């Protein structure tokens, strides 16, 4: 089996789908790995390290994809790149085929066996392949660092000759994978951290990280461990209590999401107006519209004394470790169907059957 990996084409994307470490393991599985020169440079993996790992360096994307039975990527290739794939090849990455009709069409035209990893069931067995989780961890970590950087305050408490500085109060909205990492990071920086989520079971997880669960009296556990949408009444009650509480908060990191939907709007313009001057909001949900009504995706600006940041693709800003984790996720997934140097899909394996796109008719 020949595996192709190219430099990511999306603007600002520094991650790479295979590292020297995972290339070595793919080669050990009997694969020939074709990697485009410079593919790892954004994440600081030099070409020589790939060569030392047994990968074959090739000049460009066409050479990496040409003849490859399997292509690994971070973000979905555009339609032109998909045109370089061998007909019938397998493609693994964060593909979001439904997000772009041209992409979906290109994939189908070339009969690509696509595995959009965001469709992977979130079972225990799938954890080692879960790119949503590994990348959310980096994003949550970076979001808190950005909040600390933008804040005109210290995060920790300081007792100094110039008097005592009170610790910053940090609120993390949404305590999934990114939110829990944000809570842990905020604690390490010495902030007083609170976390809040509509899934009641996260209280324990927040507390185990040393955070405090902010109880707004609303619970909305949905299917498959995800949140469901709130009813209008639930939302109104949540909003009223939250607005009151935010008057005492110095920094907010927003991470709330509902799969397949725009981000829930949780922090209103009126709530921002009620916050203390010098407060900071870092809205990780900016990619899907933001949890704060005032978030401008990709921008940082000040509104009535509050700095609001809507960073995009934070995982890429930690490209080295994000790639290490992403590439291991991919390696583990590829291990489901590459054996003895050949591809063999077992469609009875739910991790393959539920992830493949387009969906296969049941056998």
Q: List interacting residues with ligand NAD (CB under 6 A).
A: 122-124, 126-127, 130, 132-133, 136, 173-179, 197-199, 225-227, 230, 255-259, 264, 266
Q: CB of residue 50 vs ligand NAD: minimum separation in angstroms? A: 30
Residue nearest to ligand NAD (CB): 176
- Of 173 and 209, which has the nearer Cβ to ligand NAD? 173
| Lookup: tokens for 313 | 């693709």
Q: CB of residue 264 vs ligand NAD: minimum separation in angstroms? A: 4
Distance CA 307, CA 303 (A): 6
- Of 142 and 153, which has the nearer Cβ to ligand NAD? 142
β-strand 280-283 against 192-196: which pairing, if any?
unpaired
127 is catalytic: yes
- Of 165 and 221, which has the nearer Cβ to ligand NAD? 221
Distance CA 72, CA 91 (A): 6
- Of 111 and 127, which has the nearer Cβ to ligand NAD? 127
Q: CB of residue 119 vs ligand NAD: minimum separation in angstroms? A: 13
Torsion of CA 340, 346, 350, 356, to 10 degrees: 90
Distance CA 296, CA 247 (A): 22
| Lookup: tokens for 329 | 């996720």
Distance CA 254, CA 257 (A): 9
122 is catalytic: yes
Q: CB of residue 322 vs ligand NAD: minimum separation in angstroms? A: 15
Q: CB of residue 294 vs ligand NAD: minimum separation in angstroms? A: 17
Peptide bond into 358 cis (omega under 30): yes
205 is catalytic: no
3-state secondary structure of 116: strand
Residue among 226, 241, 268, 303 flagged as catalytic:
226
Distance CA 129, CA 237 (A): 38
- Of 255 and 313, which has the nearer Cβ to ligand NAD? 255
Residue among 48, 98, 111, 127 flagged as catalytic:
127
Paired strand residues for 267: 292
8 A C-beta contact, residue 52 and residue 71: no
Residue among 133, 192, 205, 323 flagged as catalytic:
133
Name, in order, each residue with C-beta under 8 angstroms of 19's C-beta and a sequence gap of 6 or more: 40, 43, 45, 323, 324, 327
Catalytic residue set: 122, 127, 130, 133, 226
């Amino acid at each position: 089996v020949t595996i192709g990996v190219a430099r990511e084409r999306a603007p600002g994307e520094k991650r790479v789908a295979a590292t020297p470490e995972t290339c070595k393991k793919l080669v050990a599985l009997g694969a020939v790995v074709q990697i485009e020169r410079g593919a790892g440079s954004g994440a600081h993996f030099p070409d020589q390290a790939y060569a030392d790992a047994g990968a074959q360096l090739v000049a460009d994307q066409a050479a990496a994809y040409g003849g490859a039975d399997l292509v690994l990527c971070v973000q979905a290739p555009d339609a032109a790149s998909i045109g370089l794939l061998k007909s019938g090849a397998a493609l693994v990455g964060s593909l979001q085929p439904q997000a772009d009709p041209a992409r979906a069409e290109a994939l189908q035209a070339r009969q690509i066996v696509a595995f959009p990893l965001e469709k992977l069931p979130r079972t225990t067995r799938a954890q080692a392949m879960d790119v949503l989780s590994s990348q959310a961890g980096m994003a949550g970590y970076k979001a808190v660092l950005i909040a600390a950087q933008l804040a005109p305050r210290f995060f920790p408490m300081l007792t100094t000759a110039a008097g005592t500085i009170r610790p910053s109060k940090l609120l993390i909205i949404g305590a999934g994978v990114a939110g829990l990492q944000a809570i842990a990071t905020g604690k390490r920086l010495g902030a007083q951290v609170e976390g809040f989520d509509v899934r009641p079971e996260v209280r324990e997880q927040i507390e185990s990280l040393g955070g405090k669960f902010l109880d707004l009296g609303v619970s909305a556990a949905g299917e498959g461990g995800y949140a469901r949408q709130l009813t209008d009444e639930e939302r109104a009650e949540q909003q009223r209590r939250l607005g009151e509480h935010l008057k005492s908060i110095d920094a907010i990191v927003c991470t709330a999401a509902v799969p397949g939907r725009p981000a829930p709007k949780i922090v209103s313009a009126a709530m921002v107006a009620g916050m203390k001057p010098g407060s900071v909001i870092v809205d990780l949900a900016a990619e899907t519209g933001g949890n704060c009504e005032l978030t401008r995706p990709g921008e940082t600006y000040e509104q009535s004394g509050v700095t609001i940041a809507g960073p995009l693709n934070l995982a890429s800003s930690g490209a080295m470790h994000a790639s290490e984790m992403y590439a291991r996720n991919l390696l583990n997934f590829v291990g489901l169907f590459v054996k003895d140097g050949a591809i063999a899909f077992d469609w009875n394996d739910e991790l393959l059957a539920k992830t493949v796109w387009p969906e296969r008719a049941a056998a």
